[in-house]
Amino acid sequence: MNIPPYLVAAAIAFIVTYAISLEMQWIARRLGAVTPPGGRHIHTRPIPRMGGLAIFGGVMLALLMALPIDSPVALVREPRYLILAVPYKPLVSPLVGVILGAVAITVLGAVDDLRALPGRLKFPLIYVAAAIPVMFGLTTSFLTNPLQGTSVPLGVAGQIFTVIWLGSLAIALNSIDGVDGLAAGIAGITGATLLMAAAPRGDVATMTLAAAVVGASVGFLRHNFHPARIFMGDSGSMLLGYLLGAASVYGLFKAATALSLAIPVLALAVPIADTGYAIVRRYRKSVSIFLPDREHLHHRLLDRGLTQRQTVLVLYLLSAVFGLGGLAAAGINRSASLAVLGTIILVVLLLVRRLGLFRLRGTAAADLPDPANLR
């Protein structure tokens, strides 16, 4: 019986995260890490946060145990013994950097959960943490032109792109964590998409990273789906976004084509678009881009009469469709891929226009919450 490393990672992450989440509810309350209702928050009772530390525990144990495994674990039956054969190899430097960066970004998120950091300090520190794996060699060294098939070396630009990509995904997933179960569900869907993208290449490391995210997300979702008993907080949402970015960049080592970028970009289209629009919206209103508001996509859907569960399920469906679109675009010939991407973009624009998301709404100053109340 052979057990693939990514299944080992998913199982460990799921079990540990599910179990620790129960304890983190008590710990968060004792530490005062509780999100009160009111303001831009839609919940009606105080909810403990810092569930991200449970996610961190599950993910880290899964990665430390499964990443060094480079081939399936074998369960061998002997006449008198049942032997578990685990092939092992030392971690390569980029993966060591990914783990260290995950530790750094979780510590930053946990500090923010306990004692809210100003955005002007927190966001630069996110990119500092995102630079750690790059210092260990994780980067996008080149891309392949999808029209001509020629390789385009990136050099330092690839390192800069990697830092921006990792940090921005951490911020993006943190930005949409405003409805019970939304961030965890989208992280799980994206992780599954990246796992499927890496499977045909036999990219075990990328599959293991993605599977750990899927396992931890599903394990936490049991406690976080509406009505939530605990929030993941910044420590969880930033960690999951960072790991998804790391998995997608590591996957580019073996498939550095421009079209392969369609997979993570489309799978994360909901948080990426929502965060990008939030920045534009706040800039046009001449308010700080770090100041939270109640005009995110999930808030718009709630305002149109959807329940929390309906809102989450709609956004789950969108993420799944976009992810499948990315897989289709990267798996067929160039002309057809561009046609698929063009169709997806057109449909998205029509949907956004139909929902009225292009229109800016006036927001009274009293409606803007204290930036310390991040959720």
Structure confidence by residue, pLDDT tens digits, 229-254: 899 989 999 999 999 999 988 876 55
Establish if 373 belongs to a structural domain: no
Give a yes or no: residue 318 inside a domain. yes
The answer as to whether 374 is a domain residue is: no
Average pLDDT, the chain: 81
Query: Is the residue at 375 inside a domain?
Result: no
Tell me if the bond preceding 4 is cis, omega within 30° of 0.
Answer: no
Q: What is the mean pLDDT of residues 289-295?
A: 69
What is the model's pLDDT at position 46?
A: 81
Residue with tokens 């996957």: 251
**372 domain-assigned:** no
Q: What is the pLDDT of residue 146?
A: 54
Secondary structure of 212-258 as H, E, C letters: HHHHHHHHHHHHHCCCCCCCCHHHHHHHHHHHHHHHHHHHHCCCCEC
Q: How far apart are CA 109 and CA 52, in angstroms?
A: 8
Which tokens hold the place of 245?
């970015």
Residue 43 falls inside a structural domain:
yes
The CA-based angle 235-216-139, given to 5 degrees, is 70
Per-residue pLDDT, 371: 35
Q: Range of 185's domain?
A: 2-367
pLDDT of res. 143: 66
Tens digit of each residue's pLDDT (9 = 90 or more) over 91-121 = 899 999 999 999 999 999 999 988 888 888 9
Is 194 a member of any domain?
A: yes
How large is the average pLDDT for residues 120-140?
A: 93
The phi and psi torsions of 256 (rounded to 5 degrees) equal: -80, 65
- Per-residue pLDDT at 72 exceeds 90: no
- The three-state secondary structure class of 71 is coil
Predicted local distance difference test score (pLDDT) of residue 128: 96
Number of domains in the chain: 1
- The sign of the torsion formed by the CA atoms of 244, 233, 363, 301 equals positive
Q: Is residue 95 part of a domain?
A: yes
CA dihedral sign of residues 121, 283, 242, 223: positive
Q: What are the φ/ψ torsions at residue 3 (nearest 5 degrees)?
A: -120, 115
pLDDT class for 310, splitting at 50, 70, 90?
Answer: confident
